[in-house]
Structure formats: structure tokens, C-alpha cells
Amino acid sequence: MDIKQSKRIQTSVLNGMEKRALVWLAERQPKWVSSNLMTFVGFVGAAVVAAGFVLSNLDIQWLWLSSLGMVINWYGDSLDGTLARVRNTQRPIFGYYVDHTIDCVNEGMMFIGVGLSPFVHLDLALIAYALYLIMTINVSINAHLKGEFKLTYAKMGPTEFRLIIIIVNTLLIAFSGLSEWCRRVTVCGLPFELRMLDVVAIVVIIILILMLVFTFIADAKGYAKIDPKK
């Protein structure tokens, strides 16, 4: 099969610095370190993130473990493709399938882990995960139809989101008032305990919905020009 790789579009805030760092790291990896191993490291990192959030039910200090998992996940998930490109060992069919399938599993573990923590309700975490998956599907559709693999939105990519989570974890540990804040509200006649990160999750959900709507409208207009009515 002759597979043409999609053009990667990445315009995040940290993209330039991150790309140089990843190439530097890839060039110094031992020969026995493979892209598949890096994908597995990313999977382990996601599991550590989820474990840290779940264990924070016992002690908020476990959020440090979650932040460590974010670093491990970044290292594996970001280096697997970079390592293949630096060594010129890309496998566009196998690599694309395995990498993005594992990414969905990783994201599922992390979102569910957040939802099982004492800081965010599970239903809100699952709604955010569903919206994230829709965006992921949209990216894959555009990669197939336009040959463009868009990795960032509004100058934000996976690395920036990981950094934000690490900062939020640190703030929750450092300021007990943030983690303990709670308000009772009524939603559709049902009582609901609104926590600080529930508010953040709701804002993220609204942002994801807006991004999906505007992205869909822009893409649909573009495809209408490419494929006009007959």
C-alpha cells in the first residue's frame, strides 16, 4: 500500500521549544529504545496519572504522583513519533493505528481517573472525554480528506494541557481552600455539589463545544467548495 503521510499542523505556544527538545532527546536514546517502547511508556504514564487522581481520595499528596504521570506520558507519547522520524523508521500504517488507538485508551484512563477523584464529578469528566474524542475523530477525518493532521487549537496542544493539569495539581496541594471549596446548587430540581474543579470542567466543556461548532462550520464550508453541489 502506498500511504501518503498527512501534514502535521502544530502551532502551539511551546511547539518550537518542545520540538527542539524532543529531537535532542531522540538523538540520545539508546539503540534498544524503540518507538513502540515509547508508546508503552506513554501508556504507563497515563495509568500513573489515573492512579494518582484515584489515590487522592486518600490523601491529596497523591496528586504529585498524577503530575509525575503527566511527565512520563509526555515523554513516551511525544518521543515515539519523533524517534521514528529522527531514525527514518516511520511506519505510517502500523504506527498511525497503534499510536492513535493507544492515545484514546490513555485519554480514557486519565479522564476517568479525574472523574474518580474527589475534585470532579465523574459525569462531567465523561462528558469532557466524549467531546475530546469527537475532536479526535474530526482530526482523523481531516487527515484522511485534506491530508492535514491538526494537533493544536487556539495555540493549545496536548503538552500545554498537561502543563495546565500539573499547575492545577500543585495549586490544589498548596492551597487547601481550593480543594475544599464546595457549593450546593440545584440542577433540574436535583441537588448537586459543585466543587472548584467542577466549575473548571464546565468551562472546559463549553470551550470544547464552541471549538467543535466553529471547527465543523469552517471545515464544512471548505469541503463545500471542494465538493460543490451538482
The 10s digit of each residue's pLDDT in 117-173 is 998 999 999 999 999 899 888 888 888 887 776 666 666 778 888 898 999 999 999
For the chain, how many structural domains are there in total?
1
Q: What's residue 3's pLDDT?
A: 47
Q: Is residue 110 part of a domain?
A: yes
Q: How far apart are CA 182 and CA 208, in angstroms?
A: 24
CB 118 within 8 Å of CB 57? yes
Q: Is residue 2 part of a domain?
A: no
Q: What DSSP designation does 60 have?
A: G
Q: Is residue 152 part of a domain?
A: yes
Q: Is residue 106 part of a domain?
A: yes
Q: Is residue 1 part of a domain?
A: no
Average pLDDT over residues 111-117: 94
Q: What's residue 9's pLDDT?
A: 62
> Where residue 198 sits, what CATH number does that domain have?
1.20.120.1760
Q: Is residue 193 part of a domain?
A: yes
DSSP string, 25-48: HHHTS-TT--HHHHHHHHHHHHHH
Q: Is residue 89 part of a domain?
A: yes
Domain interval for residue 79: 7-226
Residue 206: is its pLDDT beyond 70? yes
